[in-house]
Each structure stands twice: as structure tokens, then as C-alpha cells.
Amino acid sequence: MARILKVLIAMTLGLTATLGITSSQQLAVRDLLLYNLTWALSIALVITAPLSVNRLAISSLSLAILIWGVGSLMTSLYIFYPTIEPITWLPSASYLLFYPLAILATSLLVGKKVRLSPVEYLDAVILMLGMTSIIATLLYIALFEGTSFESISDYLNLFYAIADVVLINIGTFNLLRNGVTPRSIVFIVGVSTFVATDFYYLWLELTNRYFFGSYADIGWLIALFLCALSLHLPDKRWREFKEYPAFLTALAVFLSPVSLAISALRPDLIPRYLLAPAIANLLLAFIRMNTALREARILNYERLLAHTDELTGLPNRRKLIAEIGRLSDSQGSLMLLDLNDFKPINDRFGHEAGDQILREVARRLSRSLPHEALLARLGGDEFGVITHSASEDALECAYALQASLSYPFLIRGEKVLVGVSIGVVHNDGLGDLLKRADEAMYSAKTNQSGVTLSSTH
């Protein structure tokens, strides 16, 4: 069915183009029958899209073409049948309603259901508003400067131009965000063709060169056919972009003040309402900066939590292991500490008392270490220390840690003693620091020696 529709549309496009070349006069067969038959067949091609295509995208695109086609059909009927009393607002209303549906279809077909962070979402909006602001300004200067805007049609032409810019921007930005596929690239070519035809029509209209049935009208039909055809193409990515190039966001923010500067230098050149996107873009840029800073603070806090022991506030095992990796190329030592007689105290006085002792142990150990040393809680009653001092100083540090726990802790008015066994290993280039320190600690605990220095392999 889809293949037949493609052939039929190609035939009607060919006949329309041929008749447009051979005759510049208005022809009912070409301008009323073939022209409107083409967009109707395009709707049928959209409806017969594979089931894998987003259903809402199919509905919005087919409805957009239908609404645009109604405007085209009514215009044709009024010209070929002057006796019909025209509903003057209907074609304009149809063309106006086309854009929201076309924008929705573009977002669904070119974009993907990707969850964006607030910063990514703001980047997309800033990019769209910035480009829309400057392009709309340039278009106004190029096409509408000197226009009195005394009729509704003048304002509609300006709206169509701005809506076209928004449509092509949304398609392009989604393409950058989600990657290039056969479907998306053909759809964007179709949208671009539609926009280019619109601009060409505006130029002809504003220079009084446009007439109904001109050869330029076929551009809209080609655009609608390409958009409908894209739904039958594969959606496999040819190229994927991880994120918007950073310079595009910076460029979009820069372009907004350009519009404002042009308005300041030539107040009579640009209408005030065309400056709204530029002002909104600058406001969003400040919001984006604030959001990015807040996300950075949250990220830093989450990273801190990922490497912090919740009970004592010390770095955790993950942090210690990461620092051991950095220790390999520098002077230093690793110590592993295991508390003695902690379990009986924890069982006797309860976990709250045990947590209190662990917090107090952490404070005593911290006070006994040099400033550059790292103290971490590994879990339970085990701690780890990394020092960047010489080997002899590391042993002195180990004995200082042992001494810091030699005086009792006070729990519910009762004094209790908690000792410590420490295994020390120097960074001698032989590797396996964690394993060797653990073996030395186990030896100190077994031999009740307090501090044991690991021997070489």
C-alpha cells in the first residue's frame, strides 16, 4: 500500500510540475485537482507508516497536513468558483493551526524520549530562543523593513516567518541532540524545503510577484511528501551527538544582545515585540547559570557523601583505596588499624554506646595525625591511615595513634579501655600495600604487639 502511494504522489508531483512549466495560466486540473490530491495522498502515506513509528507523531503530522490542505483547498475553490461566498478567515486559520501540530510532530519524530537534566533543557531553549531572535530580526530587516503593517495579512506573513524559524530550529536542535538517522534527515530536509518555500513565497508576495498557481507552489507539496516519506524509512542512527556543542549555547547567548543593540542603535528598525525572545533568552541564561551552579554544588556534595563515612564523618574505604592508587608514585606509608575488645563493649552497652566510642576514637586518632595524613573508617571497628612522610616518621605516627587510645573512654559513668592493633607497610615499590598492611595488622593482633611493620616479600 505504501509503495503504491509513493508512486501515486510522485506521479501527481510530476504532472503538477509539468503543467506548471508548460502553462503559466491557472488550470483547474493542476491547481485544484492534482495539487490538492497530492497533499491528500501524503496524509494517506503518513497513516500507513509502520507500527514502530510513534502514534502521536503520526496523528499530529497527518492532522497538520490536513489542516494545511484545508486552507489550500479553500483558496483554490475561491479562485476557480468566485460564486462561492468566501470565508476569508478559514485559510489563514488553517495555516496558523498547522504550526503547533508541525512543531509537535517534529519534536516526536526527530527527538527521542530522553530525560534531560534542567541544564540540558535550558541549553536547548536558550539555543532555540537565541537563534530565533537573531534570525527573526534579520528576516524582518530583509523582508519587512518599510512595511506599514496596516492589514492582518502583513502580521500573518510575519508570524509565518517566525513560526518557520522556530520549526526549523526545533528540528535542527533535536537532530543535534539525538543523532542522525535516515528518517530524521529526510524529515528535516522536508521541513527545510517547506520553510524555504515559505520564505520564497513571502519574498514574491512582498515584491508583488506572486500569483496563484505559480511554479513556486510545488515546493510545499515536495516538502509534505518528504515528511510523509520519512516515516517509512529506518530509524537507525548513522551518527550520534552526545550533547550540544558548547559553542552553540555561547553563540545563542551572544546573539540576543546583538538584537537589542540593533534596536538601541535604530529604534525605528525593529518592532518591540520582536525583542521579546532576546530578552527572554538573557533571563534564561542567568537562570541556566544559577541552575548549573546549584547542580555543581549538589554533585560535589554527592561525591563527598560517596567517599564519606556517615557515622564518623571520616573518609570511607572507597576514598582510602583511591588514595592508595595515587600513593604508588610517591613516598608514604599505609596503616590498617583494628580496635581490640570493641565487640564485648558493643554487646554490653549497646550499639549507641558503640557508635559513641567509634566517634570518639575517630576524634582521638585525627588529633594524633599530621595535617597531610588521611584517616578513613573502613567499616566496623577498622580504620586506615595514609601518611606521606618518611618510613621512620610513619612508625612514630603508628605509636602515637596507639598511645591516643591508651586512656579510657567514659560510658554512662563507667570507664572502659579500647586498644588497637596496627599494621604498617611502607611504599617500597613492591605493591600489594593493602594486603601486606592487613597481614601486618593481623600479626600485631595475634602477637598482641600493638604495632607491626610489614616485611618485604
Res. 358 pLDDT band, cuts 50 70 90: very high
For residue 225, tell me if it sits in a domain.
Answer: yes
Q: Are residues 58 and 184 in the same domain?
A: yes
Q: Are 217 and 210 in contact (CB under 8 A)?
A: no
Q: Are residues 221 and 83 in the same domain?
A: yes
Question: What cell was used for 304?
Answer: 563527598
Task: Report pLDDT digits (tens) over 318-330.
Answer: 888 888 877 766 7
For residue 270, tell me if it sits in a domain.
Answer: no
For residue 11, tell me if it sits in a domain.
Answer: yes
Relative to beta strand 419-426, strand 414-416 is unpaired
Q: Are residues 97 and 190 in the same domain?
A: yes
Domain termination site, one of 209, 239, 269: 239
Other CB atoms closer than 10 Å to residue 209's CB: what's the count?
Answer: 10
For cell 537507525, the residue is 236
Q: Are residues 184 and 55 in the same domain?
A: yes
For residue 167, tell me if it sits in a domain.
Answer: no
For residue 210, tell me if it sits in a domain.
Answer: yes
Cα distances (angstroms) measured from residue 96 to each of 69, 224, 396: 12, 16, 82
Domain termination site, one of 219, 239, 259: 239
The pLDDT score that the predictor gives to residue 335 is: 93
Q: Are residues 209 and 93 in the same domain?
A: yes
Q: Are residues 205 and 340 in the same domain?
A: no
Q: Are residues 416 and 327 in the same domain?
A: yes
CATH code, domain carrying 425:
3.30.70.270
Domain termination site, one of 239, 261, 282: 239
Q: Are residues 199 and 344 in the same domain?
A: no
Number of domains forming the structure of the chain: 2
Q: What is the mean pLDDT of residues 151-162?
A: 76
Res. 193 pLDDT band, cuts 50 70 90: very high
The pLDDT score that the predictor gives to residue 241 is: 53
- CA 53 to CA 37: how far, in whole Å? 24
Structure-model confidence comparison of residues 198 and 79, the more confident one: 198
Task: Report pLDDT digits (tens) over 277-299.
Answer: 778 877 877 887 777 777 777 67
Relative to beta strand 382-387, strand 374-379 is antiparallel
- Structural domain of 374: 317-453
The pLDDT score that the predictor gives to residue 37 is: 87
Q: Are residues 328 and 197 in the same domain?
A: no
For cell 503518513, the residue is 46
Q: Are residues 68 and 193 in the same domain?
A: yes
Average pLDDT, the chain: 81
For residue 77, tell me if it sits in a domain.
Answer: yes
For residue 245, tell me if it sits in a domain.
Answer: no
For residue 157, tell me if it sits in a domain.
Answer: no
Q: Are residues 231 and 325 in the same domain?
A: no
Res 114 pLDDT > 60: no
